[in-house]
Amino acid sequence: MRSIDSPQVTIRSPSIRATQSGCETRSSSSSAGREAASSNGTSTLPLITDLLIIIPTEIDTTTVSWCLEAVTIVPNLPGMLPCSAEAVRHNRQPGDSMQRFSLPGLFLCLALLTHPPFAIAVDPLNALILTTPGVYHDYQKQTWILAHRISEQANIRFDVSLAELDRWKNTDYSAGYDVLIYNLCLADNQDAKLIANMRRQTEQLGVPALLIHCTMHSFRNTDLWWTMSGLQTVAHEPLGTLTLTKAREHPVLTDIPDNWVLSHDELYSNLAFEGEALLTATGLDGQPQVTAWLARPGGTPVFSTTLGHSEETIKNPHFQRLLASALLHVTGNLSPDGKPTPGMEGDPAGMDIFETFSAPRGVKFLGEEGLACAYRELVIAAGPCYLSCILNPLEWGAETAACKTACESKLPSTSTLIQRCTP
């Protein structure tokens, strides 16, 4: 152990012996216990009846040597342990410059900290997923995939709220949750009261949030929603290959590769941005567009990403890792090395991760059948118009693009498609 010139105190304490499974406390007054320990075939260290605690108040070291004849303890050790400081700290004596600790409590905490088999029991995070039936995205499949893959990397349970606009508008639906996950598309909605209450859950009530993909295009015909995420955007480039570049190093980006390539996703055009960029991609105009970032509306941490349109992206392990790390980060459970804090690790073996599912009467995910129906409705409504744009020899280039944009006015609204195509 490192030699340190510092005050020392000798404390009479329970004896400690080392076994293959860790350290155990024994009565310091029993010599019979010493004989039994040496005769039962267990590999032991000499029993210690006086444990020397060296407690420098000024040393900056992360070294913790224990189950030996001396223990070096840094001043902030209780903050590093998987239990409260009150569980290990004794009151300091008048004129005493050293910290004093309860040895049974201290060694129990150190055992938990250094021996993985002793898992720390931590209640799982409670998350509420807010989503919609889906017209351009298969939210039923996305909800299942993302929840299961995130739970493999974080200790979490989920409730699902499907298109409960009255609930989102008139209640504090964030009550009892550690994090809100918005994976929805309400592009045509302009309900100011709904927007205000959704923002209130994070900006005023302080519940962290994750915002995914079309959530940024929700309420896009207003200026009321984008400050929640920090990105104003109303359009995206055609589906294609994106090369993601790290804007900075951050624990959320742990294990995300440099120049990460997604084969099928949409790049959202940035109109205004207020936040801490994490990932960017270059647009057709040659300008970088932010694709993943952090913001703090009302002082509460929020992670957002415009990625996540296609099933290929949803199933991408790096995308799943990005969301899991972001969720842990905004809830304060991600270590600087990008790993979950003790007790917040996921369960790769799988678990029953969904607690409740709620939706208004008659509202369902569209699913594959409903999405096929919606696609047919879109083709019928705008297909002839698009075809005329291409066939007209006088309309090419910018003119063709403008013609196609004009055709979009013929598309049925999302709510109409959901009404027509719900299975």
pLDDT band at 417 (very low <50, low <70, confident <90, very high): confident
Q: CATH homologous superfamily for 125-358?
A: Class I glutamine amidotransferase (GATase) domain (3.40.50.880)
Domain spans of the chain, in order of start: 8-114, 125-358, 368-421
Q: What is the pLDDT of residues 179-218, one digit of tens each?
A: 999 999 999 899 999 999 999 999 999 999 999 999 999 9
End-to-end CA distance of the chain: 69
Kindly list the distances between the CA atom of residue 221 and the CA atoms of 192, 218, 233, in Å, as whole numbers in the listed order: 11, 8, 10
Across the chain, mean pLDDT equals 78
SS3 track for 12-44: ECCEEEEECCEEEEECCCCHHHHHHHHHCCCCC
Residues 6+ apart with CB under 8 A from 347: 151, 152, 155
Instruction: Name the phi and psi angles at 162, rounded to 5.
Output: -100, 110
| Beta-sheet strand order (sheet of 240-246) | 260-265, 240-246, 276-282, 288-295, 302-305, 209-212, 179-183, 125-131, 156-162, 354-358
Q: Report yes or no: 239 and 260 within 8 Å, Cβ to Cβ.
A: no
Q: How confident is the model at residue 381 (pLDDT cuts 50, 70, 90)?
A: confident
pLDDT at 74 over 60: no
**pLDDT value of position 89:** 47
In degrees, to the nearest 5, what angle opens at C-alpha 384 toward C-alphas 380 and 388? 165
Are 243 and 281 spatial neighbours (Cβ–Cβ below 8 Å)?
Answer: yes
Is the pTM higher than 0.85? The answer reads no
Residues 90-144: tens digit of each pLDDT: 444 555 444 454 555 555 555 555 554 445 568 999 999 999 998 788 999 999 9
